Amino acid sequence: MFNYSDALESDPSAKEHGTVKAFKTVGASKAALKFGRVVAVVVVVFIGTLFLPWTQNIRARGSLTSLSPDQRPQTIHAVIPGRIEQWYVQEGELVEPGDTILRISEVKQEYFDPKLLERTQEQITAKELTGRSYQEKVNSLDAQIDALSQAMRIKLEQAANKIQQAQLKVQSDSIRVVAARTEIKVAKDQLQRGEEQFKEGLISMVELERRRVQEQRANATFIDAQNKLLEARNELLNAELEIGGIRNDYRDKLSKAESEKFASLSQMYTTEAEVTKMQVDLASYTVRAGNYIIRAPQKGYITRAVKSGVGELVKEGEPLISVMPARFDLAVELYVEPMDMPLINLGQKVRFMFDGWPAIVFSGWPNTSYGTYGGTVVAIDNLISPNGKYRILVGPDPEDKPWPEALRVGAGAVGMALLKDVQIWYELWRQLNGFPPDLYQDPMRVGTDKAKL
């Protein structure tokens, strides 16, 4: 074993020169020199790497869904309660719109009648005929009211003519009374002059008697004229009273006819309301009968029967079977943290890794990744989800390669929303300090927004 102190004792010159002759023979180590160079190169490469570009990104996990709500898996529910009678499809079978899936039967007692629709239609027909009879009665009463009104007008005209005749008769009889009174005065004057002339012997007794007779006749004529005047006045009064009686009589008849008319109208309207209600019931029965057959709403695949077997009872609104539309536009449903939500914009680029498709991912260099697919943000929810994150919908990027055709709704996916390009040293500094990523804004989009403003 070599001893350094023994070497110094055997060779005093080695002590003076500060080294050993054997070491001079071996020389300096080349491994240390190479190691130093390697370390220097690694340091230079590392420092150079710090200035390479790095794409900031936000990672989020989600699942595949369809872009349109009508293309997502849907569950067919029972509109009415019933009993399953027969299945016409199997799980996994392709159905067209309107294809029969299953048939159910009625379970409510009020709908057990197999001829319920026919009997309801017969009731509606009978009610409609009843309404028509009321309408005919109303028409007859209208004709009767018109006839009574016309008869009343005729009677009133006759009474008015009779009143006019009575007035004229009263006027003529009044003239006769005046004439008779004048005749009496003349007859009295003649009789008085005759008596004076008879005393003087100017006229005979016969002439005097004749004048007395004329005076009595004038009195009788005056009395007769007064009686006729009173009769004419009574006739006028009776005619005036008769016109009031005619009005009252026909008003009574018209009121009775109108009362019957309004009663018939009320019954007719009640019948029409009953007919309308029965028509609504018939329409409901018809729609209910159509709900006994459960049909496919659109083209799709039967995925799972919630209710199975024959004879099983289902409630109103209970799910029966689920259908997956045959045609759907895929989209990825991602959930983003609230801190990263302000960094997401519509139209932003996103890279995906789908479950079942191998991928080699360099998150900072998306162009060098293998097995990833591109997408663009098409929708952003304004309300936070129950899981405490915001949901975004990402559709395929038309400028990138198409997504695999074998993808199905519900498959998992990991998305990376691409943000601003920075240097690696800045990204390391940001990660160490826990700062959020920088918001990326498309220059073209910013210019468009400024132009709009």
- pLDDT tens column, 32-88: 677 777 888 888 777 776 666 666 667 788 888 887 878 888 888 888 899 999 899
Locate 210 and state its tokens.
């004749």
- pLDDT tens column, 381-416: 888 888 888 888 888 888 888 888 878 888 888 877
Q: Residues for the chain: how many in total? A: 453
Does the domain at residues 56-70+328-452 carry the CATH identifier 2.40.30.170?
Answer: yes
Domain ranges of the chain: 1-49, 56-70+328-452, 73-106+292-325, 116-290
Q: For the domain bounded by 73-106+292-325, which CATH number is listed?
A: 2.40.50.100
Q: What is the pLDDT along the chain (453 residues), one digit of tens a residue?
A: 444 445 445 555 544 444 555 555 555 556 767 777 788 888 877 777 666 666 666 778 888 888 787 888 888 888 889 999 989 988 888 999 989 999 998 888 888 888 888 999 999 999 999 999 999 999 998 999 899 889 888 988 888 888 888 888 888 888 888 888 888 888 787 778 777 777 777 777 777 778 788 888 878 888 888 888 888 888 888 888 888 888 888 888 889 999 999 999 999 999 999 999 999 999 998 988 888 899 998 888 888 888 877 888 888 888 988 888 888 788 888 888 887 777 778 888 888 888 877 655 545 555 555 567 888 888 888 888 888 888 888 888 888 888 888 788 888 888 777 665 666 676 666 667 665 665 444 444 434 443 333
Locate 237 and state its tokens.
């009064």
CA distance 248 to 331: 87
Q: For the domain bounded by 116-290, which CATH number is listed?
A: 1.20.1270.60
Sign of the torsion angle spanned by Cα atoms 5, 6, 7, 8: positive
For the chain, the C-alpha Rg in angstroms (whole number) is: 61
Helix extents (H) in 371-435: 424-433
Locate 400 and state its tokens.
């990138």
Locate 219 and state its tokens.
């009195």
